[in-house]
Chain A
């Protein structure tokens, strides 16, 4: 058994896939270094990330398979599931063999698996576009803490750029400690940790209480249905929702 380890970055994963091809090996798993329980039996190869190599894989997915496949691969990578690397590898091998039509082969486990996860990640991306809540801080910065299941913070950037082009905003994934910063002109995605308590602007509490009141008033009492509410709005998202939080 042959295991490849990469540094956890997307480039690292693509480098590993490049290396497998180049060396004529077929690793049985490709995993992010930290993600994996040691196994004594496996032969282990540690891959050093080379952006030149990853770039070639990137282009090859796009041109030899399809943009759709590239998107699937990236989304599955963002799921951060321990087996994501291995699944992507197996999916791509099939893709290179068959060509872009292979995405229709949903009866093949390798394709189906990737589609399912990619859809879940995309689902959370879409959901978060609605569930992100900004708080207006001192200095007129709109700040939104989130804790999504998958690493989708980067995927929501285009939507919010389009929606709030003239506003300073930050979206902060507090568990992964990364954030998107936008200052009304340019944006960046990077590490973020908050050491100090954030300070809310003066009017903030008013709008929060108005929103909570609205949320309460809009429900029809005769039709209260907590089960349905939770199905649409799973409890794991409640933490940062003004209307559901503290």
Chain B
């Protein structure tokens, strides 16, 4: 088969993976080597769907022995199949990189023959890139569930980031849609990688020359909307993953209907808004001091599609508001809709020079369109309406609708469009908008 045809098949099959992030690694080029990886992440192009292209995102093979219902590569599906050789993949990666098409490689795969066999082929490709070609660009490798630890350990010494897809929030869903995958084969490598990362950091402290194990950390991805799991299940899982395995990111991928099967929901379009809400909530977990239980619980199991999760939360906890911006501490400021990490810090900093006027808030980056209903400034309420849940919600919805029509609905799925360009607190707001 021609290389061009292979590339086409294997790129096509890889594109539903949402994570295109290439940041978090700051590797200096070794002398005579090829490439570096740049801390802020660089977009090299934008595909026709508007998503940033930063990495060569590709499958090693789409031949699969498994039959996961939601996946186009499942064994029972009639699609054209292809498999690279390690050398072919190395050649394409190097030549794309030298022409500045890409920041690096994001390599994933279906399961050819068995998990170890597949993992070995992938390992061979990344080993050649690093050792034979002296390639220092970014590599993100998806570990194959069920592959042995020693293979994962070896691969981890070559790559910047590793991930294992958790796929679904519950074991039941996994049984239903991916009957040959076991929860255990997913969790085990995750916990193995996370322990190796910690070990690596400690070794590094002791002897300078120690290997970096997956220096850009571990991530995972789960599919949203293919199963009856509710948002509360998903968010609780993410929270647990961040805590237990110190993951760098959980990516959410709206289910794209690829087949009809009695176990799958019949939907015509991927649930993008829901995906977006989950990303917003994920942000609240990681940077705003919320915990999953506050955002969703037994009585409130799913996010409101029309309101962002923070507004939604604030309306359910209206007794905490209004908050006086001149006195509230940092944690409380962060809970006000329309106040982000950056603006909360700025408020604290500028309060030292005297108390703030309402007009100052705008300059500090507060989004008054949302915040005004939840604050007082020098004791005065600027919402202009009754401070009750019903009136506020109505106003928020009107405001949201107005800004959407300006943007013709494009903010939807903003998160999957961005690479993980900025990963520290300070610059978050440029991605999220202040929540």
Contacts and interface: CB of A to CB of B under 8 A. Distances in A.
Given A130-B42, A227-B410, A211 B8 contact: no
Contacts of B57: 218
Given A210-B7, A218-B57, A227-B408, A142 B45 contact: no
B15 A142 contact: no
A233 B410 contact: no
A219 B33 contact: no
A228 B49 CA distance: 8
A164 B45 contact: no
B98 A136 contact: yes
Given A162-B29, A219-B48, A142 B42 contact: no
A133 B29 contact: no
Contacts of B256: 220, 222
A111 interface: no
A188 interface: no
- Mostly helix, strand, loop or mixed at chain B's interface? loop
B210 to A, nearest CB: 24
A144 interface: yes
Given A165-B33, A215-B53, A225-B50, A220 B15 contact: yes
A76 B374 CA distance: 41
Interface in B229-281: 256, 269-270
Interface in A190-245: 203, 206-207, 209-211, 213-229, 231-233, 241-244
A130 B413 CA distance: 23
Contacts, number: 139
Contacts of B40: 126
B287 interface: no
Interface residues of B, number: 49
Interface in A127-142: 129-136, 142
A159 interface: yes
Given A134-B99, A142-B99, A217-B8, A224 B49 contact: yes
A215 B47 contact: yes
B3 interface: yes
A241 B45 contact: yes
A165 B50 CA distance: 32
Contact of B45 (A131, A217, A222, A224): A131
Contact of A163 (B7, B35, B51): B35
A211 B99 contact: yes
A131 B29 CA distance: 21
A132 B98 CA distance: 11
Contacts of A134: 98-100
A98 to B, nearest CB: 17
B368 interface: no
Nearest to B9: A217
A167 interface: yes
Contacts of A216: 48
A109 interface: no
Contacts of A206: 3
Contacts of B38: 129, 159
Given A159-B38, A163-B36, A165-B33, A224 B98 contact: no
Interface string B46-76: 1111111110111000000000000000000
Given A159-B38, A210-B92, A222-B269, A229 B98 contact: no
A219 B270 contact: no
A226 B47 CA distance: 9
B317 interface: no
A166 interface: yes
A159, A220, A222, A233: which has the most chain B beta carbons within 10 Å?
Answer: A220
A38 B50 CA distance: 46
B78 interface: no
Given A219-B49, A225-B49, A207 B15 contact: no
Given A225-B410, A232-B46, A217 B15 contact: yes
Contact of A211 (B3, B14, B96): B96
B430 to A, nearest CB: 12
Contacts of B8: 213, 217
B7 A213 contact: yes
Interface in A60-102: none
Interface in A119-162: 126, 129-136, 142, 144, 159, 162
A42 B8 CA distance: 64
Given A135-B99, A232-B50, A232-B52, A166 B7 contact: no
9 contacts: A130-B42, A130-B44, A130-B100, A162-B28, A207-B96, A213-B7, A227-B50, A228-B49, A232-B43
Given A226-B48, A228-B49, 10 more contacts: A130-B44, A210-B4, A213-B4, A213-B11, A219-B51, A222-B256, A223-B50, A225-B48, A227-B410, A243-B45
